[in-house]
A and B are shown apart, each in its own frame.
Chain A
Amino acid sequence: MIKEVLKPASLDEAVKLKSSDNYYLSGGTQVNWTPAMEIRRSNGMPEIEKVILLQGLLSEDIKKEGSALIIGAGSTLQNIVDSPLAPDALKKAAGYIASRNVRNMATIGGNIAANRADSYIIPCLIALKADVETVGKGIMCVDKYIREAKDSLIINIILPEVEGACVIDVSVKSSAAYPSVTTAVRISKRDAVVAVGCVSDHVIRLKDVEAGIVNGSLSGESLLKAVSDSINPQSDLAGSSEYKKYLAGTMIAHSVELSRKEGLV
């Protein structure tokens, strides 16, 4: 149980208060969420007893700055769904979170920082080539953040203008179930980005597959196979390893096909 709540007056103060025994608390859907606590217990981690409350400190705005879109880290996922400025793919990804209650509470910054392998948001942000602006560690791409800097405090998400077509997909047994696989593919005339969730301990980017898509060596069945061969998911309640490998392959191949067939690229 949380025993101490620190209430900084500024982001700088929040960062100064940060230590190994406390945690940032924004929306609450991760820190206060029972499954997250149970995972900590099962991993032998100590209970969260001290939090730094970020309420009122993080921007909730979604605004255009030049060609970029700036999303305040305190913006809730429902704000993104409702925003006329957010890219369709990101709105769709936020909407995959089935519960409106959760969308009303969860912040985009918190979602990235939680770095869940089954995040709907992170694959999409990677595909969209989004950067995060942090306090103290500057600006970096989302992919790098989740691998190297996930303890630093995000204040903004910076989305460049969407180049080409971005198609996201998710496979779930039921509307509110944990996903079996999440994918995001963005293809332009210049490049391709492919990100997959639920197949590793965090969302991964398949750079070899991207190269094959760009140079035209991979499509249809060969693309499906290349994706399947490049991942090694664990079997769990959401499906067997074999199933997830096949799903990721077919979802990405289908997304690529959709992008091309509909003339999006």
Chain B
Amino acid sequence: MKLKFLLNGTPKEVYTEAGENVRDLLYRIGINSVRNSDDGYAFAGSDSILLDGKVVSSMLLIAAQIEGREVKTVESLSKHGMLSPVQSAMVDAGVVQSAYNIPAAALILTELLDRVPNPSREDVKDALSSVFIRDSGYEQFYVAVDLAVERRTDPEYKNTVPPEFKEDLKFIGKVKRKVDGAKLVRGERLFVEDRREEGSAVLKMLRSPHASAYIKSIDTSEAEKIPGVVTILTHKNTPDTWYTQAGQGFPEPSPYDRRLFGEKVNHVGDRVAAVVADSYEIAGLALSKIKVEYEVLKHIMTIDEAMAADSPLVHNGEIIYEAAAPDDLEESNKNFDPRDGKIIYQFPIGGDPRKNIAASVFDGIGDVEKGFAEADVVIEREYQPMSHIQCTPLEMHVIYTKMDGDRLIMHCSTQVPFHVRRITASVLGISENKIRVIKERVGGGYGSKQDILLEEVCAYATYSTGRTIFHQYSRKEEFESCSTRKPMKIKVKIGAKKDGKLTAVYMDLKANAGPYGAHALTVPMNACSKSLPLFLCDNFKFDVVTYYSNASPTGAYQGYGAPKGSYAMQMAAAEMAEELGMDPLDFLELNRVHEGSMLEILKCLGEGREGVAAPAVSCGLGPALKEGREMIEWGKKEVSDDPDVKIGKGVVIIQQGSGLPGLDQSNATIKMLGDGTFMLFSGGADLGTGLDTVSVKMAAEVLQTEMTNVSILSGDTDNTPFDTGAYASSGTYFSGSASLLAAKDMKEEILKAASKIMDEPVSDLKIEYPGKVVGKKDELTYAKLAWHTQAGEGQGQLIGQGHFTTDDAAFPYGAHFAQVAVNIRTGAIKIQKYYALQDAGMPINPELAQGQIFGGVLKSIGHTLYEGLVYDEKGHALNTDLRSYGVPMIGDVPEDFQAKLVYTDDPFGPYGAKSISEIATNGAAPVIANAIHDATGVWMRSWPITPEKILQELGKI
């Protein structure tokens, strides 16, 4: 049909099927701001448009429904590249992070302000009720609306909500626009899907309906006959190369236990075959024609099942060690089944696949038995944060691959472009120089894009066929085949003297890796290494075992095991305080780490290498606890007017790391351009967190030039130097430091070159704002310096380099306080107050730092109260959509939600900065559980803490 409608004020005539989905139609005609995050579930709001002035979900509309009507998208808001007032306010408020559906939010807030000129908090909440924001936690949207309202009368009105730091610095610690904020909020073509060209093929995956099975036979002949099918990949025609999908530094502390397609499938949703075809319709038809005969095996889903003596083995393939093979390897390999393939360990990590153990480690300091003997009180508790928590990025996993001559080009949404290149090269059997990985803007990662989950399949398909191919997960595939948090069972035994002083801590941690062992050692270790060192005690012991199962795959997720370790340890501390009759906050104060404390336990918590004890050189716990105590009026009992509602308060302390000293590496280069401006090349991968802005600020501050004079290219393996990637809270500390070092190197180059031109010694020269070299006799602008150095007789373009590695650790700390109201009649839980006070050293981007705290906390509120995959008896996940899975929305934001930045001056971080984001996920579970206990007297020792579980604990059901 010929469809006529008004699009952003312009009459449009489009040929379409009457039943075409409106989102698809709009995207097809170039409106790329309208995106798909939920496959038509009308939950995430990325597909929002205005239809006759009202906000609606375009994926719930067919073309015939917009005939003769007016459609507006975010493209209507900004003219000639300028931002609208609402868009400007959103960037300034710090809500533009990964930003996949930020254009939709801009459209919605614009509609709100047209409808309600001075909206209340409830109005804003209602307007954003259709938008799922995973990264920044909603709170700053209220600030954005206030900014937009104020700027009607005062266009210069500034965001004064975030604190600023260090008056002597121009850009560091100041509220400055995120460098990619404008293009993100405008909805420009920045994501992988936007690179897709006409004529490219698509890839669809045939996935296993069984949790464990051998593929007895697979017949693709009928499917291959379908016109438009390019190729079909199975275990029969793909490399027998084994690898880990974990995007970690090589050699990885994760077993190489999967290949592109295996003869055995190990979970519901595992890969069976991939069809590459000219269209989704053809690919779908081809999938239906593939005949697979399975030998279905008994499957195991839980840690207990995996541990059982008669448990089926998830991996019974040949075990291979690249180094330091154990003596009993031959015995272990006596009865391996070749259909199971291989498990290759780069070095020993305590794995024993014949007992379903993917990795293990046992260690400690001091003598815990002696410590328990010396204790006046010993308690032992088990905590079960067992739920499979999903990262749920708004942008579903995606890859676009094509050939450039004999080189493979990969457009990726990844946290680890250089690991993608290395692993893909290994799988394809080609050298790294034949591959270019371009990290596009990433619409949410949270750890799940640290792993190589679909990139290598698409890469192989393109490399073997020459075709350009697009592949994106559906939301269901995100849940079934992506990577979730590792469920854990954690037993904590602690001893303390009557005065509260800890004498011994023992943590017995068992984790469920799912079918493959990505991060099998390091995630559970991190649960220990980010929870135990918060306490000063001479005797620590930990036993960590990670088991294989046939549940959903697991991997990295923001916090990387720490939220679960923190939950167990902080709960045990609170339970011990109760046993001792102590105030839990006093107990924490008595036993906590202080500035200068030596963290001895870290010497047995290396990530696959020998650890080292490290000092807590900077630690903001003291001021955080002091301020939080006052904010929440600790000790004051709150009473509800409703007799069914009981109110309680909780407190926890948390920590994380800043990258992996001794393991990570970052590099950057910076070039002076012909007019004295700069181009910065960072290997770092900005996930929307503001890392590019951090890097630009480093350069602008050192070189005393405006941030607009520094442009950045990052995460492109052809054009930027190596970086291990954005994980382990490494962005600011590692990649930011590399940019800082590159800028300092450039500064030296500038002074040396200026010295020759100005005929003054370097010692007499200094750099001054705005972008000039000042000597005792004269001054030289960067523009003139560039002309001199790049002219025919010049010394050559000025280039600075930065290379950052370190053995020094910078630990971020925090104290989280919560006040909850529990309805003991219904079990309903309401978070009335949540105060997150975090020491991030010097926050380079204060507004973005606060946004990441809000986002991390809200995510973990979701994990604590709502989220978790549920399986049927056959291993199928039942809640593979965002709503039934249970992500938090704006209606779940605590009534009083505050993120406070506690300043400390760390000597190791760039300008004193430490990491900010991951740590924020460590507090919610224990602090909410502790507050529930204060309110009701029950200890909630498993996730998620649902109303039903509360009622069970209260004996109501």
Q: Chain A: residues with CB nearer than 8 A to chain B? A: 1-5, 7, 25, 27-29, 32-35, 49, 51, 53, 55, 78, 98-102, 104-105, 171, 173-178, 180, 237, 239-240, 242-243, 246-247, 250-251, 254
Contacts and interface: CB of A to CB of B under 8 A. Distances in A.
A246 B866 contact: no
B891 A104 contact: no
Given A1-B19, A4-B18, A254-B825, A101 B948 contact: no
Given A5-B18, A98-B889, A180-B947, 9 more contacts: A7-B64, A34-B40, A49-B19, A99-B129, A100-B126, A105-B57, A176-B43, A176-B892, A246-B956
Interface in B838-893: 862, 865-866, 870, 878-879, 881, 883-884, 886-892
Contacts of B38: 34
Interface string B251-294: 00000000000000000000000000000000000000000000
B54 interface: yes
A227 B879 CA distance: 29
A176 B891 contact: yes
Contacts of B865: 173-174
A101 B45 contact: yes
5 contacts: A35-B881, A78-B54, A102-B60, A176-B889, A177-B866
A75 B438 CA distance: 49
Given A176-B889, A246-B951, A28 B883 contact: no
Contact of B62 (A32, A171, A243): A32
Contacts of A240: 948
Contacts of A99: 42-43, 45, 57, 129-130
Contacts of B862: 174
A98 B893 CA distance: 14
Contact of A53 (B55, B65, B866): B65
B908 interface: no
A25 B60 CA distance: 11
Contacts of B238: none
A101 B56 contact: yes
A33 B883 CA distance: 13
A181 B496 CA distance: 45
B42 A101 contact: yes
A11 B551 CA distance: 52
Given A4-B19, A240-B948, A174 B884 contact: no
A2 B879 contact: no
A51 B878 CA distance: 30
A29 B42 contact: yes
Contact of B889 (A33, A49, A51, A175): A175
A4 B64 CA distance: 10
A39 to B, nearest CB: 12
Contacts, number: 134
A53 B64 CA distance: 8
B755 interface: no
B886 A173 contact: yes
Nearest to B825: A250
A55 B63 CA distance: 13
B48 A101 contact: yes
Contacts of B828: 171
A105 B948 contact: no
Nearest to A34: B40
Interface string B103-145: 0000000000000000000000011011000000000000000
A178 to B, nearest CB: 6
B826 interface: yes
A250 B947 CA distance: 13
Nearest to B829: A173
B891 to A, nearest CB: 3
Given A4-B19, A102-B42, A251-B826, A178 B951 contact: no
Given A3-B19, A98-B129, A171-B826, A104 B62 contact: no
Contacts of B41: 33-35
A35 B490 CA distance: 37
B310 to A, nearest CB: 29
A28 B64 CA distance: 11
A151 B61 CA distance: 22
B940 to A, nearest CB: 14
Interface string B278-319: 000000000000000000000000000000000000000000
A53 B66 CA distance: 11
Contacts of A246: 951, 956-957
B828 to A, nearest CB: 7
Contacts of A28: 60-62, 65
B17 interface: yes
Contacts of B40: 32-34
Nearest to A98: B129
Contacts of B948: 239-240, 243
Given A32-B40, A33-B41, A3 B17 contact: yes
State the 6 A-B residue pairs at the shortest beta-carbon distance, nearest first.
A175-B891, A2-B19, A34-B40, A101-B130, A5-B18, A5-B64
B953 interface: no
A99 B65 CA distance: 20
Contact of B947 (A1, A34, A171): A171
A227 B62 CA distance: 43
Contacts of A176: 43, 129, 883, 887, 889, 891-892
Contacts of B129: 98-100, 175-176
Contacts of B48: 101
B825 A100 contact: no
Contacts of B240: none
Contact of A98 (B54, B870, B891, B951): B891
B164 interface: no
Nearest to B47: A101
Contacts of A239: 946, 948
B256 to A, nearest CB: 36
B62 A237 contact: no
A100 B65 contact: no
B39 interface: yes
Contacts of A173: 865-866, 886, 946-947
B54 A104 contact: yes
Contacts of A104: 54-56
Contacts of A34: 38-41, 59
A32 B21 CA distance: 9
Contacts of A98: 129, 889, 891
A80 to B, nearest CB: 14
Given A35-B41, A102-B130, A178 B883 contact: yes
B750 to A, nearest CB: 53
Given A29-B42, A101-B48, A243 B957 contact: yes
Nearest to B57: A101
Most chain-B CB neighbours within 10 Å: which of A34, A105, A176? Answer: A176
A98 B128 CA distance: 10
Contacts of B60: 27-29, 32-33, 102, 105
A250 B826 contact: yes
A32 B59 CA distance: 8
Nearest to B870: A237
